[in-house]
A = this chain, B = another copy of it.
């Protein structure tokens, strides 16, 4: 490694070629790892590259090859949850990790209002990103369909329905919920309330299904008075908990579909004089930092956000490779790949 002239103009491929005494094409081949280069020549070129501190210009490469070596991660900034929920940062971190071993860039993009569709489409067109990672899409998010239609390799972070056409990575929401309920039952609880997430979010719906099925499996009758629907936020957790307490004062356990809602529920329970876990067991979902720091510690269904991010990136790389290999849309779409990562119940003092 030699000093590459402090700053100023960086060497070009052509200069490397001149230095190594070969043609431009050959240097290009070496840079891109083509096998059609003799050992000698390769060594000579590599030496020239090192001596000159040559680094290929991304823009030139993107222009000539018509690929950008970058992927866009689109986060719904509108909900501004990126700032409060570790879910997003975990995901993004995982993606970054997976990409570090690649030469792909991570373009982070915040999708503001639903109306930003056009802006985003233009953005993707302008950058000709090789792929897109869409985090947290609602069942009615139009962006996902747009991407599908544009035929840009895309992976989303939670299928929008059971027959999601786009490849996806998700946690096993259904089993996660079952494990939570099973755990509560094993603790002797029989009157288990559910604070569910928005049912237009597929993952939230799966959790509800898991709750229902596990109750049945344990021979406990489903009681709709014990079920309330919220939107994952703390405030709604409070409201629904208060309502549940009114409707079903005899409940002895609560399964909230997010830690945030569990936190809201806890406050209401406490104000109502119910002790946790003596009077009421509480279980959350996410195993976020909140769960670890709540008092008592919140039993929660852990989502491996970091692994999810990593998995998304890896799946996307496959998609991009497939697309490049010429398996065009119609063929590829035959079998979208859906990855489901297992959850893990982290038991703490609240149950």
Interface residues of A (CB under 8 A from B): 1, 6-7, 10, 55-60, 62-63, 68, 70, 73, 77, 80, 82-84, 86, 88-90, 92-93, 96-97, 100, 105-110, 112, 118, 122, 125-128, 149-151, 263, 288-290, 293-295, 305-306
Contacts and interface: CB of A to CB of B under 8 A. Distances in A.
Contacts of A290: 289-290, 293
Contacts of A150: 6-7
Given A86-B83, A96-B108, A293-B294, A63 B59 contact: yes
A286 to B, nearest CB: 12
Interface centre among A93, A149, A288 (most CB of B within 10 A): A93
24 contacts: A1-B118, A6-B149, A6-B150, A7-B149, A55-B122, A55-B126, A58-B68, A59-B60, A59-B68, A62-B62, A80-B93, A83-B89, A83-B90, A83-B306, A84-B86, A88-B89, A89-B92, A96-B110, A100-B110, A106-B109, A107-B107, A107-B108, A108-B108, A293-B293
A85 to B, nearest CB: 9
Given A1-B118, A89-B82, A93-B77, A108 B106 contact: yes
Contacts of A59: 58-60, 62-63, 68, 128
B106 A107 contact: yes
B100 A112 contact: yes
A107 B127 CA distance: 12
Interface of A is mostly: helix
A123 to B, nearest CB: 8
Contact of A105 (B1, B58, B107, B295): B107
Contacts of A125: 10, 55
* Leading 7 A-B pairs by shortest Cβ distance: A295-B295, A59-B62, A89-B89, A59-B63, A96-B110, A108-B108, A55-B125
Contacts of A86: 83-84, 86, 89, 289
Nearest to A306: B83
Contacts of A151: 7
A105 B127 contact: yes
Given A1-B118, A55-B122, A105-B107, 7 more contacts: A55-B125, A56-B126, A57-B63, A77-B96, A83-B305, A92-B108, A106-B109
A278 B100 CA distance: 49
A263 B293 CA distance: 8
Given A1-B118, A68-B59, A83 B93 contact: yes
B63 A128 contact: no
Contacts of A97: 77, 110
Contact of A294 (B60, B73, B100, B295): B295
A106 B110 CA distance: 10
A188 to B, nearest CB: 25
A28 to B, nearest CB: 15
A90 B89 CA distance: 9
A19 B134 CA distance: 35
A58 B126 contact: yes
Contacts of A89: 82-83, 86, 88-89, 92
Contacts of A100: 77, 110, 112
A235 B59 CA distance: 45
Contact of A126 (B57, B90, B106): B57
